[in-house]
Amino acid sequence: MQGVARNFFTLAIIYALCGMALGIHMAISEDHGQMPTHAHTMVAGWLMSAVFAFFYHLFPAAGQKTLALVHFWLTAISGIGLMIGLYILLAGNPGIEPLLGISSIGFYAGMLLFAFIALPVVWKKSLSEG
Ligand code: HEM
Ligand code: HEM
């Protein structure tokens, strides 16, 4: 694994370690107030980044494009803003909402960019398929 695929996989592991630690903290403290932060870190963080990593691993040509690097940084920066912003919000600080709004839009834009990168790749007819 290399390039953007490896970046996404490393990000996925970081999300998993942070999200699971938060899950254990929630379970021990019996305070599930950060459940949405844990849920998004695990699913929108760990699982989605892992899917992106394996996509770019399976289709290395797509990962070599500059757009793939833009996809990585947009997803990484907005995703981290989303998770940290959500944590701060649920800790009782509604003032963080603008950061959450901007991060959400950035995260959605990252997914839109991924659709633009990935759909042509998976719909392209390979020579072996005839
Ligand atoms: C160290 C392992 C984990 C611990 C200790 C843990 C702990 C928790 C706890 C305490 C809750 C709150 C349950 C509630 O209040 O109803 C929760 C919810 C959740 N967890 Fe985890 N979790 C772990 C791993 C994972 C993993 C690996 C995933 C996904 C890949 C995950 C996804 C979720 C989701 C999506 C929810 C929200 C469920 C809902 O909407 O009701 N968790 N977890
Ligand atoms: C643009 C980014 C996103 C925003 C603004 C967003 C917002 C929300 C909101 C407002 C809820 C309800 C929380 C509650 O009732 O306490 C929610 C729940 C949930 N979302 Fe998202 N979401 C986003 C992306 C995603 C993605 C990409 C995934 C999965 C890949 C996901 C998985 C979930 C799950 C599993 C729940 C139920 C667990 C919970 O209640 O926290 N979300 N989301």
Reported as a single tens digit per residue, the pLDDT across 38-64 is 999 999 999 999 999 999 999 999 999
| Rounded mean pLDDT, 89-96 | 98
pLDDT of residue 60: 95
Question: Of the residues 34, 40, 113, which should be mutated to test ligand 2's pocket, given the most ligand atoms within 8 Å of the CB?
Answer: 40
Say if ligand 1 is within 6 A of residue 46 CB.
yes
Q: Which whole-number Å values give the CA distances from 116 to 1, 41, 121, in the listed order?
A: 22, 24, 9
Find the ligand nearest to 24 CA.
Answer: 1
Residue bearing the bigger pLDDT, 130 or 99: 99
pLDDT range class, residue 124, cuts 50, 70, 90: confident
Q: Which whole-number Å values give the CA distances from 40 to 6, 48, 54, 82, in the listed order?
A: 21, 10, 20, 9
pLDDT of residue 127: 59
pLDDT of residue 125: 75
* Protein residue with its CA nearest to atom 4 in ligand 2: 104
Say if ligand 1 is within 6 A of residue 43 CB.
yes
Phi/psi at 106 (5° precision): -60, -40
- 94-106 as b/e: b if 16+ CB within 10 A: eebeebbeebeeb
Q: Rounded to an integer, what distance in angstroms lies between the CA atom of residue 89 and that of residue 79?
A: 15
pLDDT of residue 12: 98
pLDDT range class, residue 129, cuts 50, 70, 90: low
Question: How far apart are the CA of 36 and the centre of ligand 2, in A?
Answer: 7
> Hey, what are 112's tokens?
């839109």
Say if ligand 1 is within 6 A of residue 17 CB.
no
Side-chain half-sphere CA neighbours of 85 within 13 A: 18
* Protein residue with its CA nearest to atom 32 in ligand 1: 39
